[in-house]
Each structure stands twice: as C-alpha cells, then as structure tokens.
C-alpha cells in the first residue's frame, strides 16, 4: 500500500468525521430553533405554494365578508336622489328593454322606488353611506366603496358561483383554493382556507353550498374547510374514549406509511392530499379548540365586536376571522345569509344591517390596532345588487335581483381609503363609470397578493385554466 493512498484514506476519514460532527451540530441547533424540523417523515412540510410572488405583495391574507342574498346597493352605499324624485313613476323603458330580469317578469307595472332609508356623509372624504350603517360610516376613511360592480348571473346560485370561481359553471376552483394553491399558507396547524357561516332571525336564510368554496379540479387539499361556530367546530375533532395522543400518532404514522408506499406506485396527487390531511387533522385537534376559545379575549374586545363568545353569530365569526388571520390562515371567508329581500325590505333590512354593522367595523379597527390591516385585504359585498324598480310581493315592497350595477367595498393593504370608485346611472340601474367586473375584482385581489392573474394557471383537460379565464384587469385607481 502506497503512502499516498494511506494519506488519502486518512483525509477521507477526517473529512467524514468532521462533516458528520458539523452536520450533527447544525441539526441540534436547528432542532432548538425550530423543533418542527425534526418531526419526522410523518409530518410533511406545509404546502409552500406553486409559485413565488411575481409582484411585490401588498397583503398576506384576505378576509372576504360575503353578504349572501344580494344587499340592495340603493339602501346601503349608492344614494340616488333621482329615485326619490321618480318614486312611484314608471321605470323608463330605455333602461329595461331587452334586459334580463329575475322575478319581475310576471309583474304588470315596473315603478321606481325611492331609497327607503336616509343617507349621510361620513369621514373626511364625505362618503355617502346609509344611516343604517353608522359603525361602518365611522370607518369610512379606511374603506374604498366601489359603486360600479357588474356580474354575469342574475340568480343566487350561479351568481355565488361566479363571484367565487369566475365562472357560472359549477365545479371550478374557488378563489380561496386558487390563492392557497398558488401561495400556500403560513399556518402549520390550521387549513390555509377557512369558511365560517352565520345567519340571524327573520326570513329563511339564503342557501349556500360547499362547492362555492370547493377546489374544483385542483387537488382537494386546497378546498375551504368549513368551521362551525357552534358545537364541535369540525366533525370528529375529539378523540374516541380511551384513545390517547400517542395511540393516535401511531395510527396516523402507520396509515401515512401505507399511503406513501401506494403513492410511489401510482403517483396520484390525491394520495398526497390524504397524507397531508391526516396530519392537518391531527394538528387541528390541538389548535382548533384553542382558536375557538373566545372567552380568552379581553372584555373590551368582546364588547367592541358585540359578542359574548362562540355563539354562531356574525359578530363572533368576525372575531374568529381576526384570530385565524393572526395564526397565518391565508384566505378567510365569512358568509352571512338572508339578504334576499324581494318583499318587506323596509322591515327586514334594519335588522340585517344591525347584525353586521358593529362587528364589521370592529374587525377593521381591531386589525388596524394590531398593525395587521396593512397586510390584510377585507372585502364586503354580496353576489349582486337589487333593482331600482319595486317588487310588490305580498303588498310589502322589496327589490328583485340585479346584476348590471351594484356596490362592494374594500379596505386594507394597498387600498386607498376614504374614496368611492365608479358610478351607476342616475337610477342605479347600469354601472356606467369606471365599471368593475367580477373578473377585475379577482385580478386586483391577486395583484395585491403579489400574483399576476394571467400567470396563476393549472392545466386541466389539456387547457391552462385561470381564475380570471381570458378576462380581468387590475383596478389601479383604487390602489394606494
């Protein structure tokens, strides 16, 4: 054996031992700084997203407050003096000729109906808002009211589908699914996309469906998870009697090992979903009960929202939305139902407005006080608006569905507060100035998240699909 060969082997042994020592030292340090790194193969890393932000992100998360049923823009955020002047007069035929109408087609007369509640100016910008919303009026300088929204569906289910997925075709991915697929989530022990629902006393609540927050053709791990705000938040969250954490960990590890073995054979993404969801469910058994413990909140916070705790109300859900945002959830959607006022608008709307007014404003203030409003986008609105013409069902006037012009508002990171954008015509029928289509809304929301809406795509059935399809433009005028 040559002296050169012996020296090489000695150097190799020294390199191995030195490298092993430094590697173990680094591993030990890493385990102290971030214990989850040593969680083992049964705890895969959270989904980091299919893409990196293509633009400088202005926000990290979205809270979408969905008023299911279609709030009347004419009694909320779009005052029309001309309707007051024309109250009871026939609606000009030029507005309605050839236009789709949901339920008014069987009505013999189409008469204008004045705004049923007064408006006043709020904030430094003097934004006109209905007096039914004094708390939202008090945050007028933080919100941007879009008065020129337009959608493509005139009935509730397809309109919800369009607002959520960018198409009226059921089964496509919802926006929350697109966002969590594209950007991932910062939450390790909660889903990246969470849905909360509520209703109040009065009329039967507006139907909504889980496919409105579904993942469509994206892997199912990106669908929204519905957390119930009363009772067990998630079905089967508690362990069976006699089963401890260690016992369940053993079962999860064994099942995931079998799933990984099968995944290597068939390469089915749904198996990867199954593995990740077993781990998520295990983590949620600890995280969700703590999340729902609203009694831990200070008294002044509960009073600000107007809730006593997890009582299933919209107010409680707004507080839960803030807690979810603090824990890194990327997309949070609240549905508050029963805004479908075909009749009895004057009687029903004040109660519905009272249910959402204080907690919505509290959410904005709470986020702002914690420094979170700067990197959170809050969206408020329904799936469409209501007609300027009265619907006279049961002798108690209401308004029919309307898709040609309605209002929504946005607040938070990257949004110019204290302004209004766009306008409907003098009767509130057609969006005529700076029109914002639902596709434009989606493009703008993605832009704020740092995503070019044209580049967030997924190949399905041989085609690259995207949330905005072949449409959409960023509404730059509302950006700070």
Q: What is the 3-class SS of 310-374, one letter each residue?
A: CCCCHHHHHHHHHHHHHCCCCEEEEEECCCCCCECHHHHHHHHHHHHHHHHHHHHHHHHHCCCHH
Residue 289 pLDDT: 80
- The percentage of the chain sitting over the pLDDT mark of 70, rounded to a whole number, equals 78
Residue 88 pLDDT exceeds 50:
yes
Q: Which of 310-314, 350-354, 461-465 has the least mean pLDDT?
A: 310-314
Q: Which of 180-194, 349-363, 392-406, 455-469 has the least mean pLDDT?
A: 392-406
What backbone torsions phi and psi does residue 42 show, to the nearest 5 degrees?
A: -80, -5
Residue 34 pLDDT exceeds 50:
no
Residue 199 pLDDT exceeds 80:
yes
Q: Alpha carbon of 316 to those of 154, 278, 371, 410, 433: distances in Å?
A: 31, 28, 21, 21, 37
This prediction's pTM? 0.84
Tell me the mean pLDDT in the region 70-91: 97
Tokens of 293: 């413990």
- Give the residue extent of every domain in the chain: 3-38, 61-233+292-478
**295 or 387: which carries more pLDDT confidence?**
387
pLDDT single digits (tens) 311-341: 889 999 999 999 999 999 999 999 999 999 9
Tell me the mean pLDDT in the region 62-78: 97
Strands 376-381 and 61-67, how do they pair?
A: parallel
What's the fold here for domain 61-233+292-478? Alkaline Phosphatase, subunit A (3.40.720)
Report whether 373 contacts 106 (CB < 8 A): no
Residue 1 pLDDT exceeds 50:
no
Alpha-helical runs (H) found in 34-91: 81-85
What backbone torsions phi and psi does residue 446 show, to the nearest 5 degrees?
A: -65, -40
Residue 33 pLDDT exceeds 50:
no
* Mean confidence (pLDDT) of the chain: 86
How far is CA 215 from its chain centroid? 14
Residue 439 pLDDT exceeds 60:
yes
Residue 28 pLDDT: 43
């Amino acid at each position: 054996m040559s002296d050169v060969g012996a020296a090489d082997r000695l150097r190799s042994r020294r390199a191995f031992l030195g490298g092993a020592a430094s590697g173990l030292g680094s591993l030990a340090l890493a385990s102290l700084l971030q214990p989850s790194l040593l969680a083992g193969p049964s705890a895969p890393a959270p989904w980091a997203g299919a893409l990196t932000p293509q633009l400088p992100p202005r926000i990290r998360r979205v809270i979408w407050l969905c008023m299911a049923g279609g709030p009347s823009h004419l009694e909320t955020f779009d005052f029309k003096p001309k309707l007051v002047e024309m109250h009871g007069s026939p609606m000009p035929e030029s507005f309605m000729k050839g236009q789709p109408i949901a339920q008014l087609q069987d009505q013999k007369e189409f008469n204008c109906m004045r705004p049923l509640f007064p408006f006043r100016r709020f904030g430094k910008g003097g934004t006109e808002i209905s007096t039914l919303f004094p708390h939202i009026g008090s945050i007028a300088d933080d919100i941007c009211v879009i008065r020129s929204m337009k959608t493509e569906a005139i009935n509730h289910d397809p309109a919800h589908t369009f607002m959520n997925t960018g198409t009226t075709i059921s089964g496509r991915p919802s926006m929350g699914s697109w966002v969590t697929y594209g950007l991932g989530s910062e939450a390790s022990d909660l889903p990246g996309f969470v849905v909360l629902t509520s209703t109040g006393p009065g009329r039967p609540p507006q139907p909504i469906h889980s496919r409105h927050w579904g993942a469509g053709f994206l892997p199912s791990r990106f669908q929204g998870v519905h957390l119930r705000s009363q009772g067990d938040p998630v079905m089967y969250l508690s362990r069976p009697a006699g089963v401890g954490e260690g016992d369940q960990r053993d079962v999860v590890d064994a099942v995931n090992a079998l799933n990984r073995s099968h995944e290597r054979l068939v390469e089915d993404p749904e198996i990867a979903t199954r593995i990740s969801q077993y781990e998520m469910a295990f983590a949620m058994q600890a995280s969700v009960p703590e999340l729902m413990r609203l009694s831990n909140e200070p008294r002044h916070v509960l009073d600000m929202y107007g809730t006593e705790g997890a009582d299933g109300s919209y107010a409680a859900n707004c507080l839960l939305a803030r807690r979810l945002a603090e824990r890194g959830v990327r997309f949070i959607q609240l549905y508050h139902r029963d805004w479908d006022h075909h009749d009895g608008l004057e009687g029903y709307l004040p109660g519905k407005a009272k249910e959402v007014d204080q907690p919505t404003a509290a959410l904005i203030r709470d986020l702002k006080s914690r420094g979170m409003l700067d990197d959170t986008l809050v969206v408020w609105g329904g799936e469409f608006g209501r007609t300027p013409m009265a619907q006279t069902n049961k002798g108690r006037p209401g308004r029919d569905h309307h898709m040609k012009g309605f209002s929504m508002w946005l607040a938070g990171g990257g949004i110019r507060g204290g302004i209004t954008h766009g306008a409907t015509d003098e009767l509130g029928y057609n969006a005529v100035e700076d029109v914002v289509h639902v596709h434009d809304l989606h493009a703008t929301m993605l832009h704020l998240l740092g995503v070019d809406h044209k580049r967030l795509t997924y190949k399905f059935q041989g085609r690259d699909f995207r949330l905005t399809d072949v449409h959409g433009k960023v509404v730059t005028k509302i950006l700070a």
